[in-house]
A and B are shown apart, each in its own frame.
Chain A
Amino acid sequence: MTRVRKPVQNEYAIRAYRPRTFSRRNFLTSAGGGLGMIALTSMLARDGLLSKSQAAPSNVAENPLAPKQPHFDGRAKRIIYLFMHGGPSHVDLFDPKPDLIKFAGQPLPDSFGQVMTRRKVAKNPLLPPLKQFRPRGESGLEISDFLPHIAECADELCVLRSCHGDSVNHPQSVYQMNTGSILMGRPSLGSWVSYGLGSENQDMPAFVVMPDPGSGVKGGPPAWGSGYLPATFQGTTMRPGKSPILHLRPQPEISDSQQQATLDLVRRLNQRHLQERDFDDDLSARVNSYELAFRMQSAAPEVVNLSQETLETRRLYGIGEKDTDEFGTRCLLARRMIERGVRFVQLYSGDTGGWDAHRDVARNHGVYCRRTDKPVAGLLKDLKRRGLLNDTLVIWGGEFGRMPMSEQGKGRDHNPWGYSVWFAGGGVKGGMSYGATDAIGLRAAENKVHVHDLHATILHILGLGHEDLTYFHNGRDERLTDVAGQVVDEILA
């Protein structure tokens, strides 16, 4: 049933924040990185530097990363996005196609018309699914034997089987899945969400990206860029280990106490400078950003310190096993981040090649499924038992799926015309599939879900109207969904 949106009390809250110019008035909208005005005012008030009237928290709402009210009651508060880079094969994982077995080895029937492909595979023989599909859980949702652990969580999954995008190329599709556009330089989903909802943790970035340690995605960092949104909202890359954020730690020649003394000096000299300049807002904001940086230096290592986790939990994620240790660690970090109020965590599985199984799907997906299956299942189970799955949306998907035709015998080419993405948690119905591809999984056929619709739905789950979440840029109210997008109401619980 479609939930009726509540009338929106603060429908202008987002629009109101339209920094046409980054000048004085907008100082805090641009004073990003998350430090609240509260902290600044309390700091200055403590130092006796603010009069009472100035100290009144009238500007609190202006901190761009302060938690913001959604447009209406959302189902989820945060997102973990598991991005399977390279394009996982829907017909081998989540979209069973008996006809593909039946017509295996035959060319694509003429009735399917012309197919645009990346590597001219349209005339190649059809390749049957490489592993058996079976009904799983109480729902009987079919998942293949590639993913035995995720299959145990079938009743949590809502598989959108009719997704489709606009480009057969990797970077264009990576951009589209992340930003809505096949062109570079638009704000990413995570940036839009941070812009719309702010962060619950002012000591951490609102939008964290954990890239695959192998190498970069095709298209590179613009996939988590903030485009024309202020830099405050861009994805911050984090990684396990001693220096989870770039430049978080001093150079080895500088000790912590030494840096502390240096910072004290900076603070004193800045304070004097500020005083002579009547507490200029921009300058105050900058003083502020040093306080945040300082707090981040302790908050970020705490987040990535897994020693507080029990052995049982670590095992659940496959930490300590050869194949799953790396991705399991990042999945567990994702849980720890959202627990601490990070709004949007995105994990990439797959280096530059990743899931891009042109030559041999069985081998490629064998490797990547082994690496990710147990960690992803562990994440879902862990979130569930901690009560976090209710208001956390987990998204799994690549930039596209793969063709039913074979490539080089045992491989498959890119397929943006029809593929699967699944949601779990976040007030989405579990144990269901939505939409369908045609008989062989070539194109989305029933209840099609374009990338814009996917984005509209994700924003809707967070309580954001995709038509209302706008940012004025170059004379236009820009949106994540451009001029399209329709919420898939049917999957909402």
Chain B
Amino acid sequence: MTRHLDNKHTSFSPGGTKHALIRPSRESHAPFSPSRTFHASFSPRGTASGSLERKRQGYVSIINSRAPEGNAVTDLFLGKSWDLMVAGVARLRVRHGQCPNSCESGYKNPSRRCPEGRHNRVTLDFCRPSGAQSVKSIPLLGLTPQAITCRRSAANQSNRVFRHIQTLLFVACLFAISLTPSIADETTNPSTSNEKPITSDDREHWSFAPVSNPNIPDVTDRTWPRTPIDNFILKRLEDANLSPSPKANRFTLIRRLTFDLTGLPPTSDEITSFANDESADAYERLVDRLLGSTSYGERWAQHWLDLARFAETDGFEHDKIRPDAWKYRDWVIDALNRDLPYDQFVRLQLAGDELAADDAWAQNATRFLLCGPDMPDINLTEERRHNFLNDMTATVGSVFLGLQIGCAQCHDHKFDPVSQLDFYRLRAYFDPIVEFQNRKTVRLFEPERIRPRKSYLMVRGDFRRQGPQVSPSFPRIANPRNDSDPDDSVIEGDKKLGPRTVLANWLTRPDNPLATRIIVNRIWQYHFGNGICRSPSDVGVMGEWPSHPELLDWLAQELPRRNWSLKSLHRLIVSSATYRQASVPTDATRNMLQKSKQQDPDNELLARFPRRRLEGEAIRDAMLAASNQLSQRRGGPGVRPPLPKELLVTLLKNQWPVTPDKEDHRRRSIYLFVRRNLRFPIFQAFDKPDMNASCPRRNTSTIAPQALTLLNSKLSLSAARALAGKLIAQAGTDPSDQVTLCYLSTLARFPTESELTTAVQFLTGQAARLRVDRRRASELAVPVGLPQNSDPFHAAALTDFCLAVFNLNEFVYID
């Protein structure tokens, strides 16, 4: 049973030693090139003694027998390099920079990282003991950064031929470790005294550094910017000799904006009135109307629920229903609609019970802590507790701090300056508050029932191996001023603040560099499809570098200045000229866009608005809304519309009792029941995350089941029939009018002449085809509410047309 663990312990464990050996730090390289550096510090331990010499001989012989000829690694243990290493400090350095070869993928732009990671330069630098200046640098071509991070265990390797070049590097690491035996002791028995301190190098990483107060850049084209955001964007475009795209037309804008802010398509009335609105502030008023609608909260809550991995069941075997879980979903919707300031939004979710013990609304917020999967049936409560709390801690770290601190539950983080102690100190805030009763859904203790509980580091993340005791404290890297922890009894007024309140207050200090950058980056991402930093929940050294660091900092300053109002931040962003750009090339912009595509294939510089696909929820809601079927009911327990029987058999019996009231089946997607063991089919096909882990950014895969779902599901056909019925009821019997209204309801624009011709031809042809088939009207997919005496074949053809429109690229993408 303990083999798994034994294996970890008896082997040369990378968990213990390598991170101690290889610590991240940052140095300045080529100014354009974000870089990551890993140092292997080879401690100077005097000159080559007898035992050192023996080691050297050993490594040299291994290398001589294995290394490809002429590889620079062979130099490592030979001649002068060796002396340098023993006498000074040798460093392994990875530069994510210019690809030294002409990389096959066509990335020749020196400011870009090699997309495949294979041409990143790995060098072995030899430095003077004093500083960063390299004495000698040996490039190790063909080595990837992974080579350094490889978790290869020596035990596994012992009976094998060393076959990879990275193994040689690994030998180098082994050697370094052999020089510093103390490191090994340190990690098998972690204690506060030998916790690796945070260095100033660590603090220099962009996301850990204090938020700067950047000047708004001056740009050549002063007419384009509408907001300071645009100056930051335009500056980089101009530097790259690119120009922004012209403003999108009104039809595009209202569709983009309405989906973005409310998750729904605009109605035909809304489209025509905006298109005809001559006033100067038509756009601004549209923004205000959308931000004021309750649909706004229903849209943006889903983004947050993805982060919170919200579901209404426990997961695992019985996947039992959590009867009150929906209250958290409703709270998020409500809080966003009320524009609850973000600092309070965070505070209530982490410490609503402490802050407002009598306020049910605030208590619902704190259900955030209970959103994760749980295994109430497991035999060992300690195991259950451990898994639950670790997941909670990791989620808090990634959601609010953008750090993958979950990596530090078994060992110190390999790349980021987060120690295992940091992880368990953060967990200590939550240790005493969660109540686990056998076979019952997990819940929080009522505040008066919370008793102090000792917290411990768990060695290797194993719930059976208690390490040293820890007390609650903030992760050190995010706490440069060394703010006091709750043991110091922070007093506000006459009241002692609860520990989680202190944590939440610290998290939402305007000068907390991580928390502010993380949230503004997330908001930006939901508007533009990508964040300014494209790894929104990993801003550590392995994360992406921001494309516009100054803009990110400016926004991070701006949010607290705007009293943490998210709606105000939305307004700022969507008002920008950047956001209003077209995504479709015109004859005037085609050449520039071709150029920008080559220079900037991922559109980081935003020379056009990034087109993007709608989420499964928005696609379903749009089908229901376009066909006038969408129910206006809000809130309450999750709704279960019927499922295809093929899916029901993959569940345990009675796990999907269908909600009796059929109107509920047509409610917005956010109100559909979220079962951890089964995603609703259209959501599953369109990349809804499985809610077992926090999801900062959804995939947008393109797979055949999406086509099958949109073509063949009951959902699609019944929406097509309802839409066709609406067209007949509102546009009458003229096919051109029907098609025009269909275009407005689904694509938010008028059809072109040629589209109209194509559509009418289709209707005529399809009706004729159906007539030839001689099916009875009852066997056809006729529109809902079809008037008596109508031609059923023509009507069924209209249903087919609507179904076709739901399947168009234009329907599922926003320009």
Q: Which residues of A contact B (CB under 8 A)?
A: 2, 4-5, 7-8, 11-12, 15-16, 18, 20-25, 27, 30-35, 116, 118, 164, 166-172, 183-185, 211, 213-222, 225, 227-228, 230-232, 236-237, 239, 243, 245-255, 257-259, 261-263, 265-266, 268-270, 272-274, 276-278, 280, 282-283, 285-290, 292-293, 296, 352, 416-417, 443-444, 448, 450, 452, 467, 470, 474-477, 483-486
Q: Check B701–A231 contact: CB distance below 8 A.
A: yes
Q: A225 to B690, Cβ gap below 8 A?
A: yes
* Known contacts A18-B117, A246-B681, A476-B404; is-contact A169 B377 (Cβ 8 Å): yes
B1 proximal to A (CB < 8 A): yes
Cα(A247)–Cα(B645), bound, Å: 11
Of A30, A172, A219, the contact of B677 (CB 8 Å cutoff)? A219
Q: Contact: A219 with B373, CB < 8 Å? A: no
Chain B residues proximal to chain A, CB less than 8 Å: 1, 3-4, 7-8, 13-15, 105, 115-118, 144, 146, 149-153, 156, 159-161, 163-164, 315-317, 319, 373, 375, 377-380, 387, 398, 404, 406-407, 414-416, 529-530, 534-535, 537-538, 540, 542-544, 583-585, 590, 593-594, 601-603, 611, 613, 644, 646-647, 649-653, 676-678, 681, 684-685, 687, 690, 692-693, 697, 699-709, 711-714, 717, 755, 758, 762, 765-766, 769-770, 773, 775, 779-781, 796, 800-801, 803-804, 807-810, 812-813
Q: Which of A213, A220, A259, A278 contacts B651 (CB 8 A)?
A: A220
- Nearest-neighbour CB distance to chain A for B470, whole angstroms, equals 23
Residue of B nearest to A119 (CB): B379
Chain A residues, CB < 8 A from B153 = 483-484
Q: Is the CB of B769 within 8 A of A261?
A: yes
Q: Are A265 and B762 in contact (CB under 8 A)?
A: yes
Tell whether, in the assembled complex, residue B651 and residue A216 are in contact, meaning their CB atoms are under 8 Å apart: yes
- B766 in contact with A258 (CB, 8 Å): yes
Check B3 against A32 for contact (C-beta < 8 Å).
Answer: no
Residue of B163, B703, B707, B812 contacting most chain A CB atoms (<10 Å): B703
State the 5 A-B residue pairs at the shortest beta-carbon distance, nearest first: A185-B692, A220-B677, A33-B704, A33-B703, A293-B707
Residues of B within 8 A of A252 (CB): 779
- Given the known A-B contacts A220-B319, A246-B644, A270-B809, are A292 and B704 also in contact in the complex, defined by CB atoms under 8 Å? yes
Nearest CB of chain B from residue A348's CB, rounded to whole Å: 10
Residue of A225, A276, A296 touching B704 (CB-CB under 8 A): A296
Residues of A within 8 Å of B415, CB to CB, are: 475
Find out whether the CB atom of A273 lies under 8 angstroms from the CB atom of B809: yes
Q: Is the CB of B699 within 8 A of A230?
A: yes
Cβ contact within 8 Å between A248 and B530: no
Name 19 A/B residue pairs within 8 A (Cβ), A-sorted.
A23-B529, A30-B702, A31-B702, A116-B1, A168-B379, A171-B316, A184-B676, A215-B652, A216-B650, A231-B684, A247-B708, A251-B717, A253-B779, A277-B584, A289-B702, A293-B704, A293-B705, A444-B3, A470-B146
| Nearest Cβ on chain B to A368's Cβ, whole angstroms | 18
Q: Is the CB of A23 within 8 A of B602?
A: yes
Q: Is the CB of B687 within 8 A of A450?
A: no
User: Of the candidates B593, B677, B707, which one forms a contact with A289 in the assembled complex, judged by CB atoms under 8 Å apart?
Assistant: B707
With A164-B3, A475-B404 as known contacts, state yes or no: A8 contacts B164, CB within 8 Å. Answer: yes
Cβ–Cβ contact B704 & A483, under 8 A: no
A274–B809 touching, CB < 8 Å:
yes
A169 near B3 with CB under 8 A, answer no
Smallest CB-CB separation from A17: which chain B residue? B116
B317 touches A277 (CB 8 A): no
The answer to whether residues A269 and B702 also contact, given A216-B649, A247-B708, A253-B779 and a CB cut-off of 8 A, is no
Q: Is the CB of B116 within 8 A of A476?
A: no
A467 with B152: CB separation less than 8 A = yes
Say how far A417's CB is from chain B's closest CB, in angstroms. 5
CA distance in complex: A210, B117 (Å):
38
Q: How far is the CA of A98 from the CA of B272 in the complex (A)?
A: 85
Could you say which residues of chain A place their CB within 8 Å of the CB of B813? Answer: 282-283
Which A residues touch B537, using CB under 8 A?
474
On whether the beta carbons of A20 and B534 are closer than 8 Å, the reply is yes
Residue numbers in B under 8 Å from A287 (CB-CB): 809
Nearest Cβ in chain B — how far from A228, in angstroms?
Answer: 8
- Beyond contacts A33-B702, A255-B773, A272-B755: 6 other A-B pairs, Cβ-Cβ < 8 A, are A20-B544, A185-B690, A296-B708, A475-B535, A483-B14, A484-B8
With a CB–CB cut-off of 8 A, which chain A residues contact B769? 257-258, 261
**Complex contacts, B149 vs chain A, CB 8 Å:** 477
Distance from A175 Cβ to chain B, minimum over Cβ atoms (Å): 8
Assess the B404–A118 pair: CB atoms within 8 A.
no
Interface SS, A side = loop
Give Cα distance in the complex from A24 to B603, angstroms: 9
Of listed B13, B602, B649, residue having the most chain A CB within 10 A: B649
A12 engages B650 (CB within 8 Å): no
Contacts of A34 in B (CB 8 A): 704
A24 touches B601 (CB 8 A): yes
Q: Is the CB of B699 within 8 A of A250?
A: no
User: Among B1, B115, B649, B810, which residue has its beta carbon within 8 angstroms of that of A25?
Assistant: B115
Bound-state CA distance A474–B151 (Å) is 16
Known: A247-B709, A352-B652. A269 touches B804 (CB 8 A): yes
* A249 neighbours in B (Cβ, 8 Å): 712
Q: Is the CB of B650 within 8 A of A236?
A: no
Give the Cβ gap from A210 to chain B, nearest Cβ, in Å: 11
| CA of A352 to CA of B652, assembled, Å | 7
Residues of A within 8 A of B13 (CB): 483
A286 to B614, CA, bound (A): 13
Provide the residues of chain B in CB contact with A31, threshold 8 Å.
701-703
- Contact check, A269 vs B156: say whether CB atoms are below 8 A apart: no
CA distance A168 to B651 in the complex (A): 21
- Is there an interface contact between B800 and A15, defined as CB atoms closer than 8 Å? no
B7 A185 Cβ-Cβ under 8 A:
no
Given the complex, which residues of B lie within 8 Å of A470, measured CB to CB?
A: 146
Q: How far is the CB of A339 from chain B (nearest CB, A)?
A: 21
With CB as the reference atom, state the residue of chain A lying closest to B801. A265
Residue in B3, B535, B583 whose beta carbon sits within 8 Å of that of A450 in the complex: B3
B380 contacts across to A, CB distance below 8 A? 116
- List of B residues within 8 angstroms of A265 by Cβ: 758, 762, 801, 804
CB distance from A68 to the nearest CB of B (A): 15
Please tell me if the beta carbons of A12 and B118 are within 8 angstroms of each other in the complex: yes
For the complex formed, measure the closest distance between the CB of B490 and the CB atoms of chain A, giving whole angstroms: 32
List chain B residues, Cβ under 8 A from A172: 316, 375, 378
Name the residue in A31, A216, A273 with the highest tally of chain B Cβ atoms < 10 Å from its Cβ: A216
Contacts of B116 in A (CB 8 A): 12, 15-16, 18
**A282–B118 CA distance with the chains assembled, in angstroms:** 25
Q: Which A residues are in CB contact (< 8 Å) with B159?
A: 2
Residues in A whose Cβ lies below 8 Å from that of B534: 20-21
- Closest beta carbon of chain B to A235's beta carbon, Å: 11
Residue of A nearest to B694 (CB): A474
Q: Which residue of A lies closest to B684 (CB)?
A: A231
User: Is A416 a contact partner of B1 (Cβ separation < 8 A)?
Assistant: yes
Whole-angstrom CA separation of A477 from B651 in the bound complex: 32
A307 and B387 CA atoms in complex are apart in Å by: 50
**Smallest CB separation, A332 vs chain B (Å):** 20
Contacts of A7 in B (CB 8 A): 163
Tell me which residues across on chain A come within 8 A of B699, comparing CB atoms: 22, 30, 230-231
- Report yes or no: B701 in contact with A32, Cβ–Cβ below 8 A: yes
Known: A230-B701, A247-B708. A268 touches B808 (CB 8 A): no
Determine whether the beta carbon of A16 is less than 8 Å from that of B117: yes
Most buried by B among A266, A278, A470: A266
Closest approach, in angstroms, between the C-beta of B780 and any C-beta of chain A? Answer: 6
Q: Smallest CB–CB gap between B707 and chain A, Å? A: 4
Are B690 and A222 interface neighbours, CB within 8 A? yes
Which A residues are in CB contact (< 8 Å) with B4? 166, 450, 452, 484
Provide the residues of chain B in CB contact with A169, threshold 8 Å.
316-317, 375, 377-379
CA distance A452 to B3 in the complex (A): 10
Q: A276-B584, A289-B707 are in contact. Are A474 and B117 (CB under 8 A)?
A: no
Give the residues in chain B near A352, CB-CB below 8 Å: 652-653
Shortest distance between the CB of B783 and any CB in chain A (Å): 12
Whether A166 lies near B1 (C-beta < 8 A) is yes
